[in-house]
């Protein structure tokens, strides 16, 4: 494969990349080095895969594992979760962050119970029609749970493709049409192999082709990598987006939710006022939680996790 400059990523996606040369070494590496994660085991089923995909968005595996196991022990099927108030999903979400994912997963579980008899659908279009399920999650569940042929583009996969095929250190900040086209072009033709490829490229990005310190010596396709062939050029595109937390509304929201998760009865405003000293930011964070459906206001200045 010929290295392509970082500024020419769209052109790379429109070319005809030699995916076949990448498939076997990456899949063989995965067979030898894949982590034993509970959602990859056969007993996880499609529901276990779906729960993991919701939880793993923007959250590392080590933080997800204990919450995932507790979640599946309590709600082994979608109907079990749907039978409880959405606030219980928020409570069980704990400190995984981005708690709206808990509400979306609860909404998806309710839709699965109502539309599909309690079984996670196999059809990609039906998955995509579930509340809270976007392009990535639908493709991931169809691929990982049902062995179907879909491009599964998370941050790790996008980084592997950017380096190995497009010759760029990092992919664009947001997924582009060119990346989707490239991912489709790289898919193996056979469904089981395509599903294995999706999981393998994700694992390669998570363990070896990492964002800050790629371990090229361990990479099964280092000799084919366009980025290495180009001399590993530094990123030339827009600045990479860093995540901040301390002092943000996200931190205040998290502190407010932590109080409500621990409470067994509605919490008075005066208790929530002790969470954060700055009253304007605290009020804004609380209003945001109410607007997002994560907190339910009651008469008398009381608040609780949502029951409906």
Q: Which residue is it, tokens 């809270």?
A: 132
Residue of 43, 53, 69, 191 marked catalytic = 53
Residues 56 and 40: beta-carbon distance below 8 Å:
no
- Token representation of residue 284: 């804004």
From the list 155, 199, 152, the residue with the least C-alpha distance to 174 is 155
Q: How many residues does the chain have?
A: 308
From the list 114, 146, 183, the residue with the least C-alpha distance to 50 is 146
Instruction: Give the DSSP letter of residue 8.
Output: G
Residues 212 and 234: their CA atoms lie apart, in Å, by 12
- Annotation marks residue 262 as catalytic: no
Max distance between CA atoms of the chain, in angstroms, equals 68
Backbone torsion region of residue 58, taken as left when φ is above 0, otherwise alpha when ψ lies between -120 and 50, otherwise beta:
left
Residues 51 and 78: beta-carbon distance below 8 Å:
no
- Token representation of residue 10: 């769209």
Residues 169 and 163: beta-carbon distance below 8 Å:
yes
Residues assigned a catalytic role: 53
């Amino acid at each position: 494969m010929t290295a392509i400059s970082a500024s020419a990523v769209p052109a790379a996606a429109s070319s005809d990349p030699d995916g076949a040369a990448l498939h076997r070494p990456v899949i063989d590496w995965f067979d030898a080095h894949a982590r034993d994660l509970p959602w990859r085991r056969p007993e996880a089923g499609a529901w276990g895969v779906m729960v993991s995909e919701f939880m793993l968005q923007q959250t590392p595996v080590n933080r997800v594992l204990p919450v995932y196991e507790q979640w599946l022990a309590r709600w082994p099927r979608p109907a079990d979760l749907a039978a409880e108030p959405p606030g219980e999903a928020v409570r069980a979400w704990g400190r995984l962050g981005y708690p709206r994912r808990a509400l979306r997963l609860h909404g998806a579980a309710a839709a699965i119970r109502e539309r599909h008899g309690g079984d996670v659908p196999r059809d990609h279009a039906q998955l995509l029609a579930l509340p809270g399920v976007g392009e990535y999650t639908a493709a991931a569940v169809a691929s990982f749970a049902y062995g179907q042929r879909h491009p599964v583009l998370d941050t790790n996969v996008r980084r592997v493709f950017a380096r190995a095929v497009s010759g760029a250190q990092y992919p664009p900040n947001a997924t582009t049409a060119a990346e989707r086209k490239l991912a489709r072009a790289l898919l193996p033709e056979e469904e089981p192999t395509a599903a294995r490829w999706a999981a393998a490229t994700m694992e390669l990005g998570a363990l070896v082709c990492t964002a800050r310190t790629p371990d090229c010596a361990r990479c099964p396709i280092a000799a084919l990598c366009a980025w290495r062939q180009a001399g590993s050029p530094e990123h030339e595109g827009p600045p990479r987006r860093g995540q901040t937390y301390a002092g943000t509304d996200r931190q205040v929201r998290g502190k407010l939710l932590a109080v409500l998760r621990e409470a067994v009865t509605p919490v008075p405003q005066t208790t929530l006022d002790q969470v954060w000293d700055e009253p304007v930011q605290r009020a804004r964070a609380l209003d945001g939680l109410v607007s997002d459906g994560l907190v339910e206001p009651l008469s008398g200045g009381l608040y609780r996790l949502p029951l409906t």
